[in-house]
Amino acid sequence: MEVEVRELEIADYDLFENIKTALYRLWKFKLVVVLMTLVGLLLSLIYISIVGVKVNYQSTATIYSMVYGSYEDSSDGVKVMNTYASLLGSSNVCERAATYLQDTGVTASTLRGMVSGRAIYLSGASTDSKSYGYKLTLVTTSGTPDYVVEISNAMAKAFVDEINDLMGRQTLQVVDTATTAGSYKTINVPLIVALFGVGAFALSC
């Protein structure tokens, strides 16, 4: 028992000595530590200036399969809207949407480009019958707030109209239309600064 107590005392002493040595080293080289940390912060600002802080704007519209009084038709709609989610970027859908957006000047070609670049997409869609989404969220992202809400609503309506025409009945509905556009920065500035600062501090120790 006395041996175990002695071993614990030695271990505690060694830990204390290691901490004291580390603190002494930091104090001894405090100027180097401070300078390296400042260099890290400076590099973070250079990185941010090169990459650039951009603001993206995003809006969403929600699509459901809803046929009042017919569960079977609603279920069929769920299957079709998941199976044919890839039609979002088709000429038919984008040209329909462009006609709804004719007052904005947004063309079908622009919409197709946004879909192919994932600036417009359907969230929640799946081709696996075991994981069908019972609602699809159409998401639109743009570097400018101009017409983001209008594009979401137009593309959602165009997709719904195309699928309903395909099925021969009014099964899909845009239940929650886009009303506002949220915004977010493409990079987290405080996090980048903190990471560079901590990294430089760690290297200097």
Beta bridge partners of 123: 137
Are residues 167 and 65 in contact, defined by beta-carbon separation less than 8 angstroms? no
Three-state SS sequence of the chain: CHHHHHHHHHHHHHHHHHHHHHHHHHHHCHHHHHHHHHHHHHHHHHHHHHHCCCEEEEEEEEEEECCCCCHHHHHHHHHHHHHCHHHHHCHHHHHHHHHHCCCCCCCHHHHHHHHHCCCEEEECCCCCHHHCCCEEEEEEEECCCCCHHHHHHHHHHHHHHHHHHHHCCCCEEEEECCCCCEEEECCCHHHHHHHHHHHHHHHHC
Taking only the tens place, the pLDDT of each residue in 168-192 is: 888 888 989 999 888 877 666 677 7
What is the pTM for the complete model shown?
A: 0.66
What phi and psi, each to the nearest 5 degrees, are found at residue 199? -60, -45
**Model confidence at 59, in pLDDT bands (50, 70, 90)?**
very high
| Whether residue 121 has pLDDT greater than 50 | yes
Nearest to 176 by CA among 58, 57, 59, 63: 63
More confident of the two residues 47 and 111: 111
| Rounded-to-integer distance, Cα 64 and Cα 134, Å | 7
Task: Tell me how far CA of residue 21 lies from CA of 25, 32, 79, 96, 102, in angstroms.
Answer: 6, 17, 67, 72, 72
| Rounded-to-integer distance, Cα 147 and Cα 103, Å | 10
| Whether residue 109 has pLDDT greater than 90 | yes
Stretch among 29-33, 40-44, 76-80 having the lowest mean pLDDT? 29-33
What phi and psi, each to the nearest 5 degrees, are found at residue 61? -135, 145
Both structure tokens of 30: 């405090």
Are residues 105 and 95 in contact, defined by beta-carbon separation less than 8 angstroms? no
